Amino acid sequence: MPSCSLIFSLLFFVLQTATSLQDEGGMVNIVAFGEARCSDTSYWMKWHWLPMWRMLGSTGRINFEYHPFGIKTTCVDAEDSDDVVCDCHHGAKECVLNQLQNCVIEALPNFEQYMEIVTCIQGKSNITVAADACFNEPTLDRHKMVECAESRHGRKLFSSQEEHAAKLAPDMDWVPWILINGKRYKQAEDDLWQFLCDRFIFPRPIHCPKKIVY
């Protein structure tokens, strides 16, 4: 009869292997979709994304990608020209703000550079307010960014996000829609820092909160 201890050691071995496969020291890839005038998206960026980044950014373990494109958003080719016409969840002002965020992301492809500005634009009432508040730094030319947001190019950048949404988030029915290593997690909306620490970053960095919840 195979001894219990043999079975237990096998089980222990399997568990130990599974744990070590938790990608020690690996990168965590976060992808988020959101709408510029959606208050849940704004709240998440200001109170979850940014604080998490300030705590965990220095670990070098976070990769991030933001897609300013949400639900109830459609873009169709214009009938008489090489342009697109978009309809946004929170109206025309949201489309322009989403376009502005897309233009910033195009100008500064590295999320470490674009995310502070994209977060600043998030939730603003219109493009003038956003430009006044968010382009004071010399990093980006305000005039160029506003021009981009209101141009055919800005609309095309925005509408091209539809393909990313179809590919990365085909089930999206809510924003912010947050994917971690390719899978959507609702917990990442409410408790990003703790959730990443408990479930995704091994070994646990000292920047993490202590209590294990997830």
Ligand X SMILES: *[C@@H]1O[C@H](CO)[C@@H](O)[C@H](O)[C@H]1NC(C)=O
- Residues found near ligand X in the complex (CB under 6 A): 125-126, 128-129
Q: Name the minimum Å distance from CB 136 to ligand X.
A: 17
Residue with tokens 């006044």: 132
Nearer to ligand X, 20 or 126 (CB): 126
Nearer to ligand X, 20 or 128 (CB): 128
Q: At 67, which helix (H) or strand (E)?
A: strand 62-68
Buried residues in 92-105 as b, exposed as e (16+ CB within 10 A): ebbbbbbbbbbbbb
Q: Name the minimum Å distance from CB 124 to ligand X.
A: 8
Nearer to ligand X, 129 or 168 (CB): 129
Residue number, nearest CB to ligand X: 126
Strands 183-184 vs 28-34: parallel, antiparallel or unpaired:
unpaired
Quick one: which of 156, 145, 158 has its CA closest to 99?
A: 158
Nearer to ligand X, 125 or 160 (CB): 125
Q: Name the minimum Å distance from CB 128 to ligand X.
A: 5
